[in-house]
Amino acid sequence: MTATAEVMDYAEVVERYDPVLGLEVHVELNTNTKMFCGCPNRFGGDPNTHVCPTCLGMPGSLPVVNGKAVESAIRIGLALNCEIAEWCRFARKNYFYPDMPKNFQTSQYDEPIAFNGHLDVMLDDGEVVRVEIERAHMEEDTGKSLHVGGATGRIHGAEHSLLDYNRAGVPLIEIVTKPIVGMGERAPEVARAYVTALRDLLRAMDVSDVRMDQGSLRCDANVSLMPKGTSEFGTRTETKNVNSLRSVERAVRYEMTRQAAVLASGGTVTQETRHFQESDGSTSPGRTKETAEDYRYFPEPDLVPIAPSREWVEELRATIPEMPWERRKRIQAEWNLTDEELRDLVNTGAADLVSATVDAGADPGEARSWWVQYLTQQANTREVELADLPITPVQVARVIELVKAGELTNKLAREVVQGVLAGEGEPDDVVEKRGLKVVSDDSALLAAVDEALAAQPDIADKIRGGKVQAAGAIVGAVMKATKGQADAKRVRELILERVGA
């Protein structure tokens, strides 16, 4: 069901209205176990295999807080320049939803663990915008509903629904911004840049795998408009679970153009949640937005309050790694990049990946070339973010090392990377399984050289007669015979040696 609402031309929107943004990002933590039980916290798995009485909400089961999740929550709060609560509680957020078996979500309400922070965000042209953070609180994820038989995968039109509770109880941190105002036409870009910066930060801290495509990082975008010259916020909509960086930007932009058309025609914007349509970049109405009172929040009676000692908070502060933007400034100096080169690295999402590859031992030039060229092409072909390619900086560094050691040619190295991307394991496994090692054994190469010379005696004579450039044909034949797994330079040397040229 795609709503084809009226939209206003974007230039006119920003001429007549000021957008107000509010971004809510949900991050699934990468702890070993769930938030309140010992079930494995792993993506996927057969439906309903990572479950127990606690995360299924069975009568009599009791939750226990995951200490590691609290630690990650505090670290995230610190990295976002937040204050950390000296004492806080969990609360029950009551509502019925089939994928939430307890009929309430254990969350935090008026006592979040972290609050009042900010994140500095760099836009495409290098301008830095400060986004104020309202709060970061702990909660648990819900299960997943699968609606079967409809055209859209939504419940509307479905014949029946299936439920998978593997995700129920997975630790979540919800990070909420204060209203972001004054961004004008750049509001959609600011939204994307903020989620990008947050993703890079969380990845650098190793608290989540931040895969938007798998839902471990999800963004809800609140958008409203105020007529120019006024300062009272308009009615907002909340576009849910936008699942790529580009979609965040598109969703905000679309909502601005849709709401402007509603307001300009004398209508009122309905406060509601909306769904983003990846196909045409539009949003369609979801449910009418509840207010906090509807959820009947009350303190969770089954969990003790959390009172992190100041000593512990300071210990955790010391574990916060270099922020991605600090690292960028450092690599710019170290690798001698212009502002523009750095921005290209950042805009393709490659800066942190290159940096991590260098940290894993690779040469900066090689690391840059792999990520900015070959792997960016691969990401474009697959239509995923560079960082979401299923290859890690450590694996790229290993491929670079194998090339440097002469064990792979550049061509073979690309094949190894293909293997890693195809899920065939570590680079060394791919080399082994696909038999991709460079033939560096001279006796094997010599046999191929002799065979090629014997097959083309006239060329062998030419080389012998001093026409060294004729060796190219023999090199080609040897490369073909070894399926490209020989070092061409070495083959050439062997040919010249053999004919005594």
Minimum CB separation of residue 48 from Zn ion in Å reads: 11
Rank residues 170 and 316 by Cβ distance to Zn ion and give the closer one. 170
Minimum CB separation of residue 162 from Zn ion in Å reads: 19
C-beta of residue 268 within 8 angstroms of C-beta of residue 262: yes
C-beta of residue 297 within 8 angstroms of C-beta of residue 260: no
Rank residues 33 and 348 by Cβ distance to Zn ion and give the closer one. 33
Backbone angles phi, psi at 254, to 5 degrees: -65, -45
What is the layout of strands, in order, in the sheet containing 171-177? Answer: 83-84, 114-122, 128-140, 171-177, 17-28, 217-227, 237-242, 272-276, 283-288
Rank residues 3 and 64 by Cβ distance to Zn ion and give the closer one. 64
Rank residues 39 and 251 by Cβ distance to Zn ion and give the closer one. 39
Rank residues 166 and 196 by Cβ distance to Zn ion and give the closer one. 166
Minimum CB separation of residue 131 from Zn ion in Å reads: 35
Rank residues 55 and 345 by Cβ distance to Zn ion and give the closer one. 55
Rank residues 55 and 198 by Cβ distance to Zn ion and give the closer one. 55
407 Cα distance to chain centroid: 32
Minimum CB separation of residue 207 from Zn ion in Å reads: 21
Minimum CB separation of residue 345 from Zn ion in Å reads: 42
Minimum CB separation of residue 123 from Zn ion in Å reads: 42
Round to whole Å and give the CA distance between 261 and 9.
Answer: 9
Tokens of 410: 């550049």
Tokens of 319: 């574990």
* Residues at the contact surface with Zn ion, assessed by CB under 5 A: 37, 39, 52, 54-55
Segments of 141-216 assigned E as strands: 144-148, 160-164, 171-177
CB atoms near residue 284 (< 10 Å):
16
Round to whole Å and give the CA distance between 244 and 207.
Answer: 19
Round to whole Å and give the CA distance between 102 and 116.
Answer: 31
Minimum CB separation of residue 28 from Zn ion in Å reads: 15
Residue 217: burial class (beta carbons within 10 Å; 0-12, 13-18, 19+):
buried
Rank residues 49 and 268 by Cβ distance to Zn ion and give the closer one. 49
For residues 37, 41, 46 and 49, what is the CA-based torsion angle, rounded to 10 degrees?
-10
CB atoms near residue 492 (< 10 Å):
17
Minimum CB separation of residue 38 from Zn ion in Å reads: 7
